[in-house]
Amino acid sequence: MSGHAGREPRRLTRWWRRRSLRARLTVIAATAIAASVFVAFQVASQLLGWELQDSAKGQLRADARVLATNARRAGLAEVQLPPYPGSGRLVRVVLPDGSTRTPVGQPALPPVSEQAERVAQGASADLMESGDSDEDGHLVYTLRAGDGAVQVAQVADDSPINQFGFGMLLIGLLCVFGGALVGRAVARTGLAPIDRLTAVAVRVARTRDLDADIPDEGGGEIRRLIRSINDMLAALRDSRRAQRLLAEDAAHELKTPLTSLRLNVELLILLDRRGTLDSALPAASRTRLLNDLGAQVAELSTLVAELTDLARGDVSDESTELLDLADVVAAAVTRARSRAPEVEVALDATSVWVSGRPAALERAVLNLLDNAGKWSPVDQPIQVRLRAEGASAVLEVDDAGPGIDAADVPRVFDRFYRADSARALPGSGLGLSIVQRVVDAHGGRAVVARSARGGALLRIDLPAAAPPAPIAGPTGGEDTAAG
């Protein structure tokens, strides 16, 4: 039974959630007005009841005083009682022996209470009784008169309150109906921007057209929502534009190496089918051609890897951690030496702590070293310097090559950009672009300058972080390594 009772509120909640916002506002407005009318009716009925009762008590006291004055003059047994008019006020005289007198034809009153008898005996001057115990609900006022008392009573009349309640019911129904109409109109007006927003969202979803901006109207939450949607559409437009540019640049960059690779492979296949591979291509030429194919495949692999890295849209899925940038730079230098043993790299690094992603930072440093390795003469080492400078960690990669022309400096970090002098060298033009993106993701700055040796000086500034606190030993002091 309890399980069934528990399902009912959940079912009502699901039903309520399935209603439209306009219907909810209409129901809420009508319910609020109905509750307000009900509370107002209860308060007004109570106040009206108190007012009517006070008025009746005042009238009973006035009539009792008149009857008591006449009883003192004529005596309780001889005083002339007013005839019963057929409705309304009732009178009675309580004699000293406890008997009573009432007008002829008057309906019977409730028996004289003990408190009323005490008034007749002189124990108190008067008494107002509310006859809640009897079914007619008499209101009886007892006033001391001579050796007895007089009583004036009135049957409680609820008809004014009932009439008032009926009127309030009609007014309440009209208010609820009007409130529902007003609530629906207010909901329609207030939700008009939401309707337009919904229409734009539906149109964008159907047409994939992200150029539809929503007019900035309304106020408060509606305006913030519209601005948020417009910002989201602008971000989506920028993302789509960036994807389109990336696809166009990638297609352009892939076209040349793929064409060269296809032509070389087709030449080998054609000569092999004719059986003239050995005669048409001597061993030295065949070796050179195969080496060219291997280099083109390696270039394509590098290009595809860098395109994949750029297309991901973020630096890495790895989490940020506190790390010593000197360790990252040393690891990148080790990899660069293994990839190009003929290029000498001179490392001068001091410990500088930063908050970052180690793999992404190592990739950025390695790209800087690869770029410098393409230009640095064999007899001149690449100088890598890492130091702390104020609140920044500064990394400089200095080569002794020809340097970067002033016209090329603003576009060095653009994707696929390659200076005219670099067209014949291996590379995709994405390495420095990845460096720029990694540095931006870490809140840093990458700049290009000319080194003192005449070559290029690529500098990276990253926000430095406080080094980790030393780990306390078992005795509370710092751990020390035994020599």
Do both 459 and 322 map to the same domain?
A: yes
DSSP string, 191-230: THHHHHHHHHHHHHHHH--TT-PPP--S-THHHHHHHHHH
324 within some domain: yes
Do both 303 and 353 map to the same domain?
A: no
Do both 299 and 341 map to the same domain?
A: no
Q: Which of 34-48, 130-144, 182-196, 400-414 has the lowest mean pLDDT?
A: 400-414
Q: Which of 35-39, 175-179, 295-299, 321-325 has the highest mean pLDDT?
A: 321-325
- Distance in angstroms (rounded) separating the CA atoms of residues 61 and 54: 11
Predicted confidence (pLDDT) per residue in 273-322, tens digit: 877 767 777 777 778 777 777 777 776 776 676 666 656 554 445 678 89
β-bridge mates for residue 458, sequence order? 397, 448
Higher local confidence (pLDDT), 460 or 256: 460
Q: Which of 355-369, 383-397, 425-439, 465-479 has the highest mean pLDDT?
A: 383-397
Higher local confidence (pLDDT), 366 or 201: 366
What pLDDT, on the 0 to 100 scale, is given for residue 427? Answer: 46
- Mean pLDDT along residues 165-170: 77
Predicted confidence (pLDDT) per residue in 65-84, tens digit: 888 888 888 888 888 888 87
Do both 337 and 406 map to the same domain?
A: yes
Distance, C-alpha 141 to centroid of its chain: 67
- CB contact burial 399-408 (16+ within 10 A = b; e otherwise): bbbebbeeeb
Do both 244 and 364 map to the same domain?
A: no
The pTM (predicted TM-score) of the whole model is 0.44
Do both 117 and 240 map to the same domain?
A: no
Overall number of domains in the chain: 3
The length of the chain in residues reads: 483
40 within some domain: no
pLDDT band of residue 33 (cuts 50, 70, 90) is confident
**What percentage of the chain reaches a pLDDT higher than 90?**
6
Q: Is the pLDDT of residue 474 over 60?
A: no
Q: Is the pLDDT of residue 411 over 90?
A: no
Do both 246 and 350 map to the same domain?
A: no
CATH number of the domain to which 83 belongs: 3.30.450
Q: Which of 131-140, 163-172, 205-214, 340-349 has the lowest mean pLDDT?
A: 131-140
88 within some domain: yes
Do both 220 and 290 map to the same domain?
A: yes
| Average of per-residue pLDDT values in the chain | 76
Locate 343 and state its tokens: 């290029």
Do both 126 and 141 map to the same domain?
A: yes
Strand runs (DSSP E) across 131-181, as ranges? 138-145, 148-155
Locate 379 and state its tokens: 């007899």
What pLDDT, on the 0 to 100 scale, is given for residue 190? Answer: 67
What pLDDT, on the 0 to 100 scale, is given for residue 130? Answer: 78
What pLDDT, on the 0 to 100 scale, is given for residue 117? Answer: 83
- Mean pLDDT along residues 110-138: 77
Q: Is the pLDDT of residue 96 over 60?
A: yes
Do both 402 and 336 map to the same domain?
A: yes
Domain termination site, one of 129, 157, 185? 157
Q: Which of 32-46, 198-212, 309-323, 398-412 has the highest mean pLDDT?
A: 32-46
| Domain span at 399 | 314-463
Do both 328 and 459 map to the same domain?
A: yes
416 within some domain: yes
- Mean pLDDT along residues 13-35: 74
189 within some domain: no
Q: Is the pLDDT of residue 176 over 60?
A: yes
Q: Is the pLDDT of residue 368 over 60?
A: yes
Q: Is the pLDDT of residue 166 over 90?
A: no
Domain termination site, one of 157, 187, 207? 157
What pLDDT, on the 0 to 100 scale, is given for residue 479? Answer: 43
- CB contact burial 310-340 (16+ within 10 A = b; e otherwise): beeeebbeeeeeebbbbebbbbbbebbbeeb
pLDDT band of residue 481 (cuts 50, 70, 90) is very low
At residue 42, the 3 state secondary structure works out as helix
**What percentage of the chain reaches a pLDDT higher than 70?**
75
Q: Is the pLDDT of residue 330 over 70?
A: yes
Q: Is the pLDDT of residue 245 over 70?
A: no
What pLDDT, on the 0 to 100 scale, is given for residue 421? Answer: 45
Domain termination site, one of 284, 311, 338? 311
What pLDDT, on the 0 to 100 scale, is given for residue 41? Answer: 77
CATH number of the domain to which 375 belongs: 3.30.565.10
- Report the largest interatomic distance among the alpha carbons of the chain, rounded to a whole angstrom: 161
What pLDDT, on the 0 to 100 scale, is given for residue 299? Answer: 65
Q: Which residue has the tokens 């270039």?
A: 299
Phi, psi dihedral angles at 108 (to 5 degrees): -70, 140
What pLDDT, on the 0 to 100 scale, is given for residue 249? Answer: 60
401 within some domain: yes
Do both 361 and 414 map to the same domain?
A: yes
Q: Is the pLDDT of residue 337 over 60?
A: yes
Q: Which residue has the tokens 């490392």?
A: 347
400 within some domain: yes
52 within some domain: no
